[in-house]
């Protein structure tokens, strides 16, 4: 699968896709699909799975 050819590509977002590869105790279907895409596209996950990507419990806190 070619996504960006020889160009560098950064994909970021809130995927709400739990998977054991990034520190969750379970994997959802979305998480499994995302992990499969990452593997098939030869992408690299840069954030540390144990690091929080946001602070707080409410949607208004970052």
Segments making up each domain of the chain, as ranges: 1-54
Which residues of the chain are modeled with pLDDT < 50?
none
∠ Cα 45 22 3 (to 5°) = 30
Residue 34 is predicted with a pLDDT of: 94
Residue 20 is predicted with a pLDDT of: 92
Q: Which of 47, 45, 36 is nearest to 1 (CA)?
A: 36
Residue 43 is predicted with a pLDDT of: 86
């Amino acid at each position: 699968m070619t996504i960006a050819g020889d160009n560098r590509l950064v994909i970021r977002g809130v995927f709400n896709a739990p998977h054991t590869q990034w520190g969750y105790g379970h994997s959802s279907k979305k998480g499994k699909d995302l992990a499969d895409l990452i593997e098939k596209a030869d992408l690299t996950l840069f954030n540390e799975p144990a690091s929080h990507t946001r602070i707080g419990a409410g949607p208004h806190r970052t």
